[in-house]
Amino acid sequence: MEDAQIQSAASTPPAPGPSVAIRSTIYNIAFYINIVGLMILGLPTMFMGRHAVFALARAWARTSLWLLEKICGTRLEFRGVENIPRGGVIVAAKHQSVLETFALTLKFEDFSYVLKRELMWIPLFGWLLKGAEQIAIDRASGKAALQQVLARAAAFMKQNGALFIFPEGTRRPVGAPPRYKPGVVHIYRATGAPCLPVALNTGVFWPRRSFMRKPGVAVIEFLPVIEPGLEDDVFARRMRDDIEAATDALVAEAVKANPALAPQPRPGDPSA
């Protein structure tokens, strides 16, 4: 599952049998049973070091993707894996779905997410995040929180880890205008690390705020690395343009294979 076979989305027909809604319901039940079971069984990893928690996270990713394929007919394909550099790197990913939050863990040995502090308060899940030494940010603290994140990010980069960050800060609907925040620019400047942009079309198959899981081939694509040393505005523009252009192409590829996957506007959604 970790090294998914690369196939064209155009060659994958919709899953036969029960309706998408029925399959999605079955999957969601299995997904949450799986994660709760793994968290309970994996609680001892909190005391075994961050890499033990990473192993648990990868088990979650593999089992969730296996269930997704078997129940919903949705496969995940990684592209551009050869672009992943050795050493410390900022992994700046488009964020459309829950899917990429766990799938990205399969391609990096040592990683840390920059995530909102509130996630640390979730029973079991938050405890494991602490055990994995993830970087939590208190958005209400403003500049103080940013300085803390920059210090921790710089220290983490010296360990040759991958720092995962979603530059828009939250999941965005497929096709919505991009809203990139300056946090990743500050980290790029402070750490002097290269940036690995990541494009994807996961939101086509696993939409945000929806229980539907649609059949097809979801793609996560690692783009060419942006080397350190660029001016802030040059870096920000290149990162945004690279991610958005590649994401648009992946969404178009999925829709061409199955026009029923074309994203629909959500009435009353202010972020659409």
CATH of residue 149: 3.40.1130
How far apart CA 65 and CA 72 sit, in angstroms, is: 10
Higher pLDDT, residue 8 or 169: 169
CA-based nearest residue to 90, from 145, 153, 140? 153
Task: Work out the pLDDT band at 5, boundaries 50, 70, 90.
Answer: very low
Is 80 exceeded by the pLDDT of residue 222? yes
What is residue 18's predicted lDDT score, i.e. its pLDDT?
66
Q: Do the domain assignments include residue 214?
A: yes
Q: Do the domain assignments include residue 247?
A: yes
Is 70 exceeded by the pLDDT of residue 242? yes
Mean pLDDT, range 65-72, rounded to an integer: 98
Q: Do the domain assignments include residue 10?
A: no
Q: Do the domain assignments include residue 3?
A: no
**Tally of CB atoms within 10 A around 259:** 8
Q: Which phi-psi region, left, alpha or beta, contains residue 202 (left: φ > 0; alpha: ψ -120 to 50)?
A: alpha
What is residue 81's predicted lDDT score, i.e. its pLDDT?
97
Q: What is the DSSP string of 119-141?
A: GGGSTTHHHHHHHTT-EEE-GGG
What is residue 266's predicted lDDT score, i.e. its pLDDT?
58
User: Residue 271 is encoded by which pair of tokens?
Assistant: 């972020």
Is 50 exceeded by the pLDDT of residue 15? no
Q: Do the domain assignments include residue 25?
A: yes
Q: Do the domain assignments include residue 130?
A: yes
Using the CB atoms, write b or e for 173-199: b if 16+ within 10 Å: bbbbeeebeebbbbbbbbbebbbbbbb
**Tally of CB atoms within 10 A around 236:** 18
pLDDT, mean over the chain:
87
Overall number of domains in the chain: 1
Q: Measure the N-to-C terminal CA separation of the chain; round to a whole number of Å.
A: 33
Is 50 exceeded by the pLDDT of residue 49? yes
**In percent, how much of the chain has pLDDT > 70?**
88
How far apart CA 198 and CA 243 sit, in angstroms, is: 6
Backbone angles phi, psi at 164, to 5 degrees: -85, 130
Q: What is the DSSP string of 62-119?
A: HHHHHHIIIII-EEEEEE-GGGPPSS-EEEEE----SHHHHHGGGG-SSEEEEEEGGG
What is residue 146's predicted lDDT score, i.e. its pLDDT?
77
Is 50 exceeded by the pLDDT of residue 54? yes
How far apart CA 189 and CA 203 sit, in angstroms, is: 30
Q: Do the domain assignments include residue 169?
A: yes
Range of the domain at 47: 19-260
Is 70 exceeded by the pLDDT of residue 268? no
Mean pLDDT, range 222-239, rounded to an integer: 97
Is 80 exceeded by the pLDDT of residue 88? yes
153-166 tens-digit pLDDT: 888 888 888 999 99
Is 90 exceeded by the pLDDT of residue 130? no
Q: Do the domain assignments include residue 266?
A: no
What is residue 34's predicted lDDT score, i.e. its pLDDT?
96
Strand partners, 111: 162
